[in-house]
Chains A and B, each alone.
Chain A
Amino acid sequence: MASLIGSYSLNFALACSFLIIFFSIKNFDNQNQLDSKIISLTFLQFFLVAVSFLGLVMSFVYSDFSNETVFNHSHTTKPLFYKISGSWGNHEGSLLLWLLVLTLFIFLFLLKSQRQQKKYRILTLLFQQVIIIGFFIFVIKTSNPFTYIFPAPKEGLGLNPILQDPALAIHPPILYLGYVGSSIIFSSALSATTLNYISKEWARHLKQWVLVSWIFLTLGILLGSIWAYYELGWGGFWFWDPVENVSLMPWLALTTLLHCLVVLEKKLILTSWVIILSIATFTLSMCGTFLVRSGILNSVHTFANDPERGLFILIFLFILIFLSIFIFFFFHKFENKNVITFSWLSKETSILINNWFMMYFLSVILIGTVYPIFLEVLSSQKISVGPPFYNKLIIPFLIPFLFAMAIGPKLRWIKSELQNKIYLFLFLIISFLISIFIVKNSNTDFLVNTILVTAAFYLFVTTARDFFNTKIKNLSQNLAHFGFSLLILSILFNNMFSTEVITNLKVGESYQSKNFKINFERIDTKKNQNFEAMIGKFSIDNLDGNIEILKPELRIYNQPNIVTSEADIKTNLLNDKFMTMNLVQNQDYFNIRYQVKPFMIWIWISVLLISFGGLTSLLKKKYEI
């Protein structure tokens, strides 16, 4: 029943699109105000998609296995929470969520843009409808979440247990708000270009939307990363896996766009940058969806290898790219009438430098992600690009980037002097000395790490100083930059001072290392609603007499029959102690991994700080620098 309602309202919502387009075109050229019918219809469309989405959620809650999506991804013994989150934890449902967010955002856009010109609002709506219709056709044609199975099966196939996790239940919606938020930026930039509407006010208006999707994208990546840390049991938070890269690329583009908008808002320059980045952000989000959904990349996100889906997104993507390139070249007035000059030592220059660095990082990640795909298509050679590639290409450029980030915000617009900036040099020397002291204690490459830590520490102290500055000018920028420096520092320390032990132990055995001893005390078993758990009990005797108890789990899920390891993590402000355990088939030995990872929690905190910086900027009424 719920599926039926969902299916119908989805089709009605598509019909709304055509009505909206009809009324928009009618309303576009006449003198009247924006037709209120358009707003009502946009709301109706959002409402219908919401009903449809609720229909799917209800089918999941009531385990209606006559619905194929529910059958494939749910099970009666699954806890209610995961029944609900399971509705967007699969391909069909997640696309319905895309649509829901798309229609929600355009409705909010119409509400929030009342001070903008009517033509601009309508044209943005039209571009957005093109995207919405594309996705409607995609959902209904190739991945309908309401397909029937007759006769209805008694039991479903279940949701992959590693997806049954609170962080991962809210990860897709948050990430999607970020991804799909960029569609508004895309439509808005295209319509502003077409109408030659780009102005300082427009930049201020667009910045709100950029901030919204930037905050959500940041949080979405954070959630995914936290999940990978404790669930996949590899003890890391970023693996340069294609699926992760695909979310980082729009983030980089969006961050660059945000900085460009700050300049545009003040100086009305860098318009081409803004347009291209707006297009790039959405295109990269779409590419991400394409790569993840088409089954080209294999990961947890790959649900089905359906070439038809991949092809559809690819064609749709090309249409959008051609449309935007066409608009950019034929409508955009290049700013050559008045050449604006600014000194090399100014805020503009430093933001421009930031742009180029960001574009470099973006292209490195893009090449690393798509090169293996192209190579396989062209020469059927199978390769993979791992962390060494990214480390080698990104780290050397991170150093000047961090320095520019430390000094840039201290400069003024147009032209700046280096007088009264002696403290900057003083800070540099201090951070250098501290770095030598820190790096000396680790047995890693001294030169590279010292320079890296110096650069990160330098940014850290220069941004930290501004918090104590009485005439603090720009809290949001300061918070975000401070968070970024903290992030880089924590990652560096985490890399330099992590220790790891991997060994195979039987119950009762112990492992002696230089600083601690691991005792494998016993194994308990526990029955749960949808899995059976083997819980190991380990005590770790540290040299200083401290005893730590860790209880990693091994879960055997019933539907589908999958074994997962649950890491046990003891977190404190200084470090995380991380342990996973695994049983090798038909053997007495357990495979144990024990890690001490310093400053893990600071990585999460710093990313929260970064997004909090964005939030303060969004909430601030009047923006000043």
Chain B
Amino acid sequence: MYGPKVKLRIFFILSILITLILSVFLILRSLEENVVYFQSPTEIKSLVEIKNKKIRVGGMVKNNSVSIKSKEVNFIITDFKNEINVTYSGVIPNLFQEDKGVVAEGYLKDRNFFLATKILAKHDENYMPPEVKAALEEK
């Protein structure tokens, strides 16, 4: 019916289309799985269920809440409305200080307890993660 050249071209176009659709599908699915959401302590308080998924919590490090042991660091993140206890073992960035903004990445144990796997480094003392700024402005 069709010449071999046309057939080849149809095959070519089809294969490109299929690869395109496949790769877009792959990308979107993997985005869904690997995206890390940001939440404030207040948002966490109102969570309906606790998922075992990596999230970020941001806010201020509460004054006099930091205590350090040889294996771990404990502190409290607050957005001045609600608080959450954080346990962390790992690298502590230079500018991790009480009364300064912080973003911790990790897993929720329950609504009051957060197991951090990473504390994000910041670059200068006036810098505040936009997430924290927004969370603070909301209050």
Report A's interface with B, CB cutoff 8 A. Answer: 160, 162, 232-234, 298-300, 356, 360, 363-364, 367-368, 371-372, 381-386, 388-389, 392-393, 502-505, 509, 554, 560-565, 580, 582, 584-587, 589, 591, 593
Contact = CB atoms under 8 A, between A and B. Distances in A.
A584 B129 CA distance: 20
A584 B27 contact: no
A381 B35 CA distance: 11
B38 A383 contact: yes
Given A560-B124, A582-B94, A386 B36 contact: yes
B125 A382 contact: no
A383 B27 contact: no
B123 A584 contact: no
A503 B73 CA distance: 10
A204 to B, nearest CB: 30
Given A389-B30, A593-B91, 12 more contacts: A298-B130, A371-B31, A372-B35, A381-B37, A382-B134, A384-B56, A392-B30, A502-B89, A505-B70, A563-B95, A582-B96, A591-B92
B97 interface: yes
Max chain A CB contacts within 10 Å: which of B36, B73, B134? B36
B69 interface: yes
Interface residues of B, number: 39
B35 A585 contact: no
Contact of B124 (A160, A502, A503): A160
Contacts, number: 107
A384 B68 contact: no
A356 B16 CA distance: 10
B103 to A, nearest CB: 9
A389 B124 contact: no
A334 B28 CA distance: 33
A571 to B, nearest CB: 21
Contact of A384 (B35, B95, B97): B35
A386 B38 CA distance: 13
B123 A300 contact: yes
A385 B35 contact: yes
In order of increasing CB-CB distance, the 8 nearest A-B pairs are: A382-B38, A389-B34, A591-B92, A388-B34, A589-B68, A383-B35, A563-B94, A587-B68
B66 interface: yes
A393 B30 contact: yes
Contacts of A565: 94
Interface string B104-125: 0000000000000000010111
B88 to A, nearest CB: 10
B38 A384 contact: yes
Nearest to A382: B38
B118 to A, nearest CB: 10
Contacts of B27: 363-364, 367, 393
B66 A585 contact: yes
A389 B97 CA distance: 31
A593 to B, nearest CB: 5
Nearest to B40: A382
Contacts of A554: 94
Given A386-B34, A389-B31, A363 B94 contact: no
A232 B121 contact: yes
B70 A504 contact: yes
B68 A580 contact: no
Given A385-B35, A392-B30, A503 B70 contact: yes
Nearest to A509: B70
Interface of B: 19, 23, 26-27, 30-31, 34-38, 56, 66-73, 89-98, 121, 123-125, 127, 129-131, 134
Contacts of B95: 562-563
A388 to B, nearest CB: 5
B90 to A, nearest CB: 5
B29 to A, nearest CB: 10
Contacts of A386: 34, 36
Given A381-B37, A564-B94, A565-B94, A584 B73 contact: yes
Nearest to A503: B70
A591 B125 contact: no
B34 A299 contact: no
B121 A234 contact: yes
A367 B124 contact: no
Contact of A383 (B23, B37, B66): B37
B35 A389 contact: yes
A589 B70 contact: yes
B23 A363 contact: yes
B69 to A, nearest CB: 7
B89 A299 contact: no
Nearest to B56: A384
Given A560-B124, A585-B98, A589-B68, A382 B37 contact: yes
Contacts of B89: 502
Contacts of A233: 91, 94, 121
A560 B127 CA distance: 13
A300 B134 CA distance: 20
A385 B91 contact: no
Contacts of B36: 383-386
B129 A591 contact: no
17 contacts: A367-B27, A382-B37, A382-B131, A384-B56, A389-B31, A393-B30, A504-B71, A509-B70, A560-B124, A562-B124, A563-B94, A580-B91, A582-B92, A582-B94, A584-B92, A587-B67, A587-B68
A300 B72 CA distance: 28
Given A505-B70, A587-B66, A589-B70, A385 B31 contact: yes
A234 B91 contact: yes
Contacts of B73: 504, 584, 591
Contact of A585 (B37, B97, B125): B97
Contacts of B93: 582
Contacts of B30: 389, 392-393
Contact of B123 (A160, A234, A381): A160
Contacts of B130: 298, 382
Contacts of B34: 385-386, 388-389, 392
